[in-house]
Amino acid sequence: MIRFENLTKSYQVRGTKKIVINNLNTELPTGKSLALLGLNGAGKSTLMQLIAGTLRADSGRVVSDGSISWPVGFGGSFHPELTGAQNVRFIARIYGVDTDELIAFVEDFAELGKHFNMPVRSYSAGMRSRLTFGASFGIQFDTYLVDEVTAVGDAAFRRKSHALFKDRMKTSSAILVTHEMGQVRSFCDSGILLHAGDLTYFEDIDEAIQAHLDVVNDR
């Protein structure tokens, strides 16, 4: 369960206050793979960071009764001066999981070769995404936050990522941000639409997609 209580977040844009999340009060169900839909700039990444606790709200709070991953695909997840292996070791200690097991899993899954023992600042965006995906999904969270990362890599790596995602969804929930409606239908069984600072839940994923397309067409 993830619940938003009077959650508000705004930014200053050219001297004007822009409200991205507006006094949000709603609860997301447990055991769902949710697509987070919305226009570019609607605040999807902001909401993901608020859920993860990596961004401070103006007011209100996010309440959860389970463990939540950091936003997979978020560029600030790892320290750039540490190697991939060192970052994974640090994460294992923070989350209290077996260090050697997580390192072995990520090294095998991410397929970074010698770069696994090189500083993350030397990685391409795709390599960083593979590292964050492997590190996050190598830990058993109650809810995974995923931002476009399942599109990373060649066809074989994407198939492997999809298989791991679906395996984790047997016992966990997820909130997935993607602009690919094919991925939405493949991975998600319900949807949430972020529009004008408010969040609407749709039990049926096709209804969520249609509501999103209606917002897109009304621009």
Instruction: Provide the pLDDT for residue 120.
Output: 96
Instruction: Provide the pLDDT for residue 73.
Output: 65
- Residue 2's SS3 state is strand
Instruction: Provide the pLDDT for residue 150.
Output: 60
- Minimum mean pLDDT among 63-67, 115-119, 179-183: which range? 179-183
> Which superfamily does CATH assign the domain made up of 1-67+142-219 to?
P-loop containing nucleotide triphosphate hydrolases (3.40.50.300)
- Residue 46's SS3 state is helix
Give the C-alpha separation, 167 to 57, whole Å.
Answer: 33
- Minimum mean pLDDT among 1-5, 47-51, 67-71: which range? 67-71
How far does CA 161 lie from the centroid of its chain?
A: 14
pTM over 0.75: yes
In this prediction, residues 206-210 reach a mean pLDDT of: 96
Task: Sheet with 68-72: list strands edge to edge.
Answer: 68-72, 143-147, 173-177, 33-37, 190-195, 198-202
Q: What are the backbone dihedrals phi and psi of residue 208, each rounded to the nearest 5 degrees, phi first?
A: -65, -45
pLDDT (tens digit per residue) in 124-158: 988 888 898 899 999 999 999 988 656 566 788 88
pLDDT (tens digit per residue) in 42-52: 999 999 999 99
How far does CA 12 lie from the centroid of its chain?
A: 24
CATH 3.40.50.300 residue window(s) in the chain: 1-67+142-219
CB atoms within 10 A of CB 193: 23
Name the average pLDDT for the chain.
91
pLDDT (tens digit per residue) in 50-68: 999 989 999 999 999 999 9
